[in-house]
Amino acid sequence: MLALVPHRDSRLPLRAWSSSLFESGLPGAWSFPWVSPLALLNRPLSSEELKNLARALREHVNLCGGKFIAGTPTATTLPLLTNGGSHETHIFGPVLQAELPGNFFDKISEAIISRLSPLVLGSAILSNPSHGSSLSVPLCLCEKKIQIKSLPEISFRAAALANMSFRPLLLNGEWDGVSSEWKIGKLHWLPKS
């Protein structure tokens, strides 16, 4: 998958917020990295493709105020393919108040399986968010009476694009909905403004 990776200083408040979600009883709070998945890919992107996308994204962000700003937490659906079949999970976190330009993926369209929307900074995996991804507080959180602490203000200029692999860990061919492993490839930083 293609991921937007905020600078590590911007990820610190996300880590703290994930910790508070875990302490409140959300088991998937440490099951996804603090990045925003942008698209599922059928192959890793080359370094040159990532550099070109990083340049295009910087130009677009500069036209929209120069910063990525995180807003109200929500969930986004992430379809996954594994040896055990297909799975669907939901990534919960603050939504990025940024739209990718319509032609952003044109030069790599053959590599795209699906674009992800909304763009969410991963802070937790929800095993069953009930009724889809558009709810700002998915029903599974309400049903478990999980207290969501207020999200700290998060905005950042420094970010990178990278290939990312994400794999559910299966036990006897079944996924528990939260156990996973991931690897983030070489970071391709957006040029400075």
- List pLDDT tens digits, range 46-62: 999 999 999 999 999 98
Lowest mean pLDDT among 2-16, 69-83, 126-140: 126-140
Asked whether the beta carbons of 136 and 73 are under 8 A apart, the reply is yes
Burial class (CB in 10 A: 0-12, 13-18, 19+), 183: exposed
**Strand order across the beta sheet in which 155-156 lies:** 124-126, 85-96, 68-82, 155-156
Judge whether residue 27 has pLDDT over 50.
Answer: yes
Task: State residue 3's pLDDT score.
Answer: 97
Judge whether residue 30 has pLDDT over 60.
Answer: yes
What pTM was computed for the model? 0.85
DSSP 110: G
